[in-house]
Amino acid sequence: MINRKKIIILILAIACFFVFNKVKANSSQSFHEGEWIPNIYLVKAMPNGYKRYQQGLILHRTSDNQFVYCLEPFASLNKNALYQEINYDYARQLLISEKTWERLNLLSYYGYMYEGHEDAKWYAITQILIWKTLYPDYDFYFSESLNGKRKVGAYQEEINELENLILNHNKTVSFQNDNIKLNIGETITLKDENETLKDYEIERSEIKANIIDNSLIINSESLGEKTITLIKKDKRNLNKPLAYLHDESQNIIMSGYYEPKIINIKVNVNGIAIKVTKKDLDTKDTIKIAGLKFKIKNLATNEFVENPDNSMDKNIFLTNSEGFLQTHATLQYGKYAIIEEDSNLKGYLWNKEPLIIDLNKNNVKIENYNTLIYETAFYNKRKKSKIIVEKHGEKISMDLKSKNFSYDFDKLSKTIIGLYAKDSIKDINGNIIYSKDTEIMVKETDVNGQITFDNLYLGSYYLQELKTDAKYRLNSRKYSINLEDENKEEVVKTITIQNFLQKGNIIITKTSSLTKENLSNAQIGIFNDKDELIYEGTTNQEGKIVIENLALGNYYIKELTAPAGYNLDIEPISFSITSDKETIYLNLENDPIIDIPDTYSPKCKNIVIIELIESFVLILCYIQIKKSLNYYN
């Protein structure tokens, strides 16, 4: 244990030593201003209007007088400063993007001292383009003299040449067809459309190939996939590019080689390929679904054809996004069985029946680059999908226990319902069959209150009632239904939709015909137009009966029992509820019971005699008064 700790400490000490020495070695360079460039003057302008004028000047590394470029146009150069040297991860350490660093490196590579760019003016041109790359909002230009006017169009031809060198550098090899296939023994010539192939060389190749000008000549001598590696690299034998950083002096870069560009060209030397396209059995349309699994068996060897592209299972081929799979062109003539491996095709039935094919010279065709192809289709049947609507409507009936009407539901025919797309309904390929809210079909419920919407695609739908019997309220709700793939041959969704009767209210008030007071305990019955009793109730202390939610229709009221002391009202009172939520007010009167005297009773006879005597006395008094009046006249 102790020895292990000593070893770890020793390793850390050695690592620290090398790190320290590396940092020290990378921090020992200094730089100085070199020679002036005759007749070249520069202006550096900030967005705020501040300008600095100078004559063209070349900077050098002090140790070997190698020219370098300034990265900070308004920073001073401290010739005594010892810089930190950077030879990796330039962009991060310079706080710029990788794209910006790549351009800086190529500007310095193709700029001053590149072939044909030995004149010192190229240093100034390169320097200005470096500043413009780092500070796009600043203005850098050539002037006619020190502190002079802008020299319009100065060195534009040279600038264009340098920009074109960078543009062409970034172009890569481009052939008319990147999917290179040829049959065994065939030779093909590929021409580079970008005319950059002449700058490349073949680093390694698994097939016979050579470059002549901008053409790549390939000869197939073996079967299978081959790789040709092309490389474009620096031919000036420069060192690695360097950057130098210092907190108290301007940052600097030194020209160096560019990163090699490597291109791997894949070449397939073919036998015969099988192309299997997945199709709908009914429409014959291609099913453009990627990832459907197949196996292909060679019936001569009883072995499965291998798929080198599938690392998970070498015997499985997968369809692409265009709905087909294609083997590598490595097959011999003969019979093969194409087998669908699973049932993961949404909305379709699994086709378990193998498709037997026979490859021969008469049924293969030559496609691009003479690839031998056998094409066939593998069909699947789309699953049936349907929606069954069960329509129920309210009906009124009498509850004998509560002596009140109630509602239940029964099948409702002759109701019209529409089926609509809730979201866009698409086929397996994503093609829109019905756009959102499109009416798909409209049907009417049958005598059993049912509608069947069939032969539907999977997707999201909604049902909406369009018309129903006048006595019902129209059900305006949208009923959403999602038809999803299920592990069965037919996807069926059943939904029940209810309609409620239009209803109103009636308020009955019982009063005395003599006193107009409210009468309680009057027993009332309500009958429909079929003379069926549907409600029975008694007036409350306020003489009222309130009946709510009574369906539209014709009714009549019949008093069953009169309040105490009142005569029974035997006349039926008709009324009708004709609109939804209507309230009807009825004021019904009862006559009080009045006793009639019995003139034959002894008590009654005495009363009559007394009344006759009173009448006789009144008459005598009247006659006497009249005589007295005549006397005085």
- Tens digit of each residue's pLDDT (9 = 90 or more) over 309-320: 999 999 999 999
Other beta carbons within 10 Å of 177: 10
Q: Which pair of structure tokens corresponds to residue 391?
A: 């329509």
- Tens digit of each residue's pLDDT (9 = 90 or more) over 112-158: 999 999 999 999 999 999 999 999 999 999 999 999 999 999 999 99
pLDDT of residue 323: 93
**Separation between Cα atoms, residue 293 and residue 310, nearest integer Å:** 11
Question: What single-letter amino acid sits at 292?
Answer: L
Name the more confident of 385 and 329. 385
**Separation between Cα atoms, residue 407 and residue 314, nearest integer Å:** 67
**Fold (CATH) for 503-590:** Immunoglobulin-like (2.60.40)
CA distances for 456 relative to 425, 452, 630, angstroms: 10, 11, 117
Question: What single-letter amino acid sits at 326?
Answer: Q
Rg for the chain, CA atoms, rounded:
53
Percent of the chain with pLDDT over 70: 90
Q: DSSP for 313-354, please give it.
A: -TT-EE--TTSEEE--S-BPSEEEEEEE-----TTB----SP
Hey, do 271-380 and 503-590 end up sharing a CATH topology, with the first three levels equal?
yes
In contact, 538 and 560? CB cutoff 8 Å: no
Token pair 């068996």 in the structure block, residue = 297
Alpha carbon 164 to chain centroid, angstroms: 43
Q: Is residue 438 over pLDDT 70? A: yes
CA distances for 572 relative to 349, 528, 548, 597, angstroms: 68, 12, 20, 32
- Tens digit of each residue's pLDDT (9 = 90 or more) over 194-242: 989 998 999 999 999 999 999 999 987 777 789 999 999 888 778 999 9
Query: Long-range contacts of range 474-480, CB-CB < 8 Å, 24 or more positions apart?
Result: 475/499, 475/500, 478/420, 480/422
In contact, 244 and 30? CB cutoff 8 Å: no
Percent of the chain with pLDDT over 90: 71
- Tens digit of each residue's pLDDT (9 = 90 or more) over 490-534: 899 999 999 999 999 999 999 999 999 999 999 999 999 999 999
Q: How far apart are the first and last CA of the chain?
A: 165
Name the pTM for this structure.
0.48
**Separation between Cα atoms, residue 173 and residue 171, nearest integer Å:** 7
CATH code of the domain occupying 384-499: 2.60.40.10
In contact, 128 and 66? CB cutoff 8 Å: no
The ranges assigned to domains in the chain are 25-170, 180-242+252-267, 271-380, 384-499, 503-590, 599-633
Token pair 């309220």 in the structure block, residue = 473
Question: What single-letter amino acid sits at 124?
Answer: A
In contact, 335 and 357? CB cutoff 8 Å: yes
In contact, 220 and 267? CB cutoff 8 Å: yes
pLDDT of residue 270: 76
pLDDT of residue 596: 67
Q: What is the DSSP letter of 77?
A: P
Q: DSSP for 111-136, please give it.
A: STTSTT--STHHHHHHHHHHHHHH-T
**Separation between Cα atoms, residue 189 and residue 267, nearest integer Å:** 12
**Separation between Cα atoms, residue 416 and residue 393, nearest integer Å:** 13
Q: Is residue 2 over pLDDT 50? A: no
pLDDT of residue 309: 93
Q: Rounded mean pLDDT of the chain?
A: 88
For 472, residues 6+ apart whose C-beta sits below 8 A from its C-beta are 393, 394, 412, 499, 500, 501, 502
Q: Is residue 459 over pLDDT 60? A: yes
Q: DSSP for 551-589, please give it.
A: ESEEEEEEEEEPPTTB----S-EEEEE-STT-EEEEEEE
Q: Is residue 14 over pLDDT 50? A: no
Q: Is residue 583 over pLDDT 90? A: yes
Helices (H), 425-541: none
**Separation between Cα atoms, residue 382 and residue 389, nearest integer Å:** 23
Confidence label for 627 from pLDDT (cuts 50, 70 and 90): low
pLDDT of residue 22: 37
**Separation between Cα atoms, residue 382 and residue 380, nearest integer Å:** 6
CATH code of the domain occupying 271-380: 2.60.40.10
**Separation between Cα atoms, residue 150 and residue 60, nearest integer Å:** 27
Query: Nearest-CA neighbor of 540 among 562, 565, 514, 518?
Result: 518
Q: Is residue 7 over pLDDT 60? A: no
In contact, 598 and 607? CB cutoff 8 Å: no
Helix, strand or coil, per DSSP, at residue 280: strand
pLDDT of residue 20: 38
Sheet holding 272-280, edge to edge: 324-326, 272-280, 372-380, 365-366
